[in-house]
Structure formats: C-alpha cells, structure tokens
Amino acid sequence: MQRIRLRYTKRGRLRFTSHRDFQRAFERALRRADVPMAYSAGFTPHPKVSYANAAPTGTGSEAEYLEIALAAPRDPHTLRDLLDDSLPTGLDIIDAVEARTSGLADRLTASEWELRLDGVEYEEAERAVAAFLAAEVVEVERRAKNGMRTFDAREPVVGLRTLPPQADRPQGERCAILRLVVRHVTPAVRPDDVLSGLRAVADLAPPVPAAVTRLAQGLFDEESGTVTDPLAPDREAVTAGPSTAAGPAAAKAPEGAVSA
C-alpha cells in the first residue's frame, strides 16, 4: 500500500465550503481521476482518506493537508495534476509527496494566519495589537455545544503583528492587515477568538467581517519564529533510504487524523 500526502487550498468563494462539502468534492475527484484507492474493510467500505485539522468554514487557506492510501503505486506529481484538474477552481491541489515518515498530524502544531481588517486604520490596529500582546490573559467567550465557554485567547498566540501599509493600496482606503501565529491547543484558539480579544482589550471593532486566510500550518520553529513545512521530512527521506510506504505499518493513518 502506498500513502500520498497532499496539500490543498480553499480560495475565493470556496472558502465558504464546509469540511464535509470538501470531502464529497474530493471523493468525486478521486473517482474522476481513476485513482486506485485502498478501501476500508467491513460492510460499508470507503476510500482510505485521512484529514487533519481542517480550517473553519468561511476562512481561506493555502495550507490544508490530507493523506490517501493507494492500492497500486502512482507518481505523486502526476497524481497531484490529475486531482487538481478534477476539482473546482479554488480547491486546488498544490503539493503531493509520498509518505515516508509517520505522524503527519503530529507535525501540525501551529498555524500562521492573515487577517484583513477593512475599514481599520494601521495605527488603530497597531495600538490594539500592542495592548493584546502586553496582556497576560485575554479572556474571550465562544458558544459551544453546552453553552457559552470562557477561555484564554492570549497564551497560544506566539506571534501577532501589523503589516506596514502597502504602497499599491488605493489612496484613502483604510485596511489593516495582521499576521497571526498561534499554537494548536485545546480548546482551539481561532483567528476570530483573537479578534474578540482585540475587541476586549482595545475596543477594536472592524466595520465589516475580517477576511481570514491560513498561510501555513506545521511545526513552530522557536528559533526563527516561523511555521515549518510539514511535508519536508518526507521529501528529505527520499534520498535517505528506501520508501517506508509499503508494509503493514504504512497502512495506518497518521496518528490524530480523522478518516472520512
């Protein structure tokens, strides 16, 4: 059994697709591309696809990941092109590698986000970011299954900054752009939670909903302060030895991932 790891995007209007909508679209793409999928056992076999840490509905993303198991080997780059051609524009397969290491889900421990705040001045956003970072605790509320839940939105945030005004922005247009790096914790702290925190500490309230895009997802590098590529270990293993994709151990889905 061969395992292939894919990176895909949610762009434009398709950022409003739910994770279940994407699952259905992806399984149709697998059939259109005639991918030789491995299937689960039991009365209702389904293709072996493992998803990890999908972005919330309504947010864009350049860094979503999944893993598929194949019954016959395929070239990852050819497979990427076939699947990308079979998906609607906006749901784009932009990378594919053969899985040669374990624990993809374990490497998705942090995300970098871009938050576009239309109608907000750069200086106003700067003051709010400074107030947020200066606080030891920023309590926010979110509705959960059992009612409202209060938690700290500050502790998982390892980076938050306002980008300088862009030279190509139309004269007079007010738009602040934030870059956020946040660790994946329980309960998850999302970009909208950080926006709630900015409102709580600095009364920052954009007049229109923020446009949110995930730029990267992977391990957080303490030294550089960046989120690293989770597929890099698989690429590096290509020259380090024979593939680990074959064999009983490779049939296991990444630890922590959710099978469709």
What secondary structure, in 3-state letters, does 223-243 show? CCCEECCCCHHHHHHCCCCCC
* One domain for residues 115 and 198: yes
Listing DSSP states for 17-29 in one string gives --HHHHHHHHHHH
* One domain for residues 103 and 124: no
Rounded (5°) CA angle 216-17-64: 20
Q: How many domains does the chain have?
A: 2
pLDDT value, residue 173: 78
* One domain for residues 216 and 114: yes
The one-letter amino acid code at 177 reads I
* One domain for residues 103 and 160: no
* One domain for residues 175 and 239: no
Measure Cα distances from 257 to 62, 96, 128, 150, 215 in Å. Answer: 19, 18, 36, 27, 20
* One domain for residues 24 and 85: yes
Q: The domain that contains 80 carries what CATH number?
A: 3.30.70.580
**Tokens at residue 212, please?**
């949110």
pLDDT value, residue 42: 84
pLDDT value, residue 246: 41
| d(C-alpha 181, C-alpha 191), whole Å | 9
Indicate the length of the chain as a whole number: 260
Q: Which residue has the tokens 């698989």?
A: 234
Domain that holds residue 141: 110-221
* One domain for residues 24 and 100: yes
pLDDT value, residue 238: 75
What pLDDT digit, counting tens, does each position of 225-237 carry? 999 999 999 999 8
* One domain for residues 147 and 79: no
Task: Give the residue among 93, 98, 121 at the shortest CA–CA distance from 30.
Answer: 93
Q: Answer yes or no: are the C-beta atoms of 236 and 100 closer than 8 Å.
A: no
pLDDT value, residue 127: 97
What pLDDT digit, counting tens, does each position of 23-72 carry? 999 999 999 999 999 999 888 889 999 998 999 999 999 999 999 999 99
pLDDT value, residue 239: 67
**Tokens at residue 10, please?**
């949610």
The percent of residues in the chain predicted with pLDDT above 90, rounded, is: 78
**Tokens at residue 206, please?**
């954009």
What pLDDT digit, counting tens, does each position of 176-194 carry? 999 999 999 998 999 999 9
pLDDT of 168 over the 60 cut: no
**Torsion sign, CA atoms 223, 227, 233, 239:** negative
The one-letter amino acid code at 189 reads V
